[in-house]
């Protein structure tokens, strides 16, 4: 049990850090995708509004 607890004590922060980094990457890429989609939608919609 001692080794298992020791392993968990070391592994938990690493897993948490990896999860946080992965979450940050997903959030960042998601935000970038949303920005790009909005820009494309504006370009597609703008000519129709003027015409």
pLDDT band (50, 70, 90) for residue 50: low
**Per-residue pLDDT, 2:** 86
pTM of the entire structure? 0.54
pLDDT band (50, 70, 90) for residue 51: low
Q: To the nearest whole number, what is the mean pLDDT of the chain?
A: 89
Q: How far are the Cα atoms of 15, 18, 21, 31, 41 from residue 27, in angstroms, in the given order?
A: 18, 14, 10, 6, 21
Q: Which strand (E) or helix (H) includes residue 9?
A: helix 2-50
Mean pLDDT of 39-47: 88
Percentage of the residues of the chain whose pLDDT score is greater than 90: 59
């Amino acid at each position: 049990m001692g080794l298992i607890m020791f392993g968990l004590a070391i592994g938990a922060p690493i897993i948490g850090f990896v999860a946080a980094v992965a979450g940050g990457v997903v959030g960042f890429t998601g935000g970038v995708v949303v920005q790009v989609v909005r820009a494309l939608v504006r370009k597609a919609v703008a000519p129709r509004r003027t015409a």
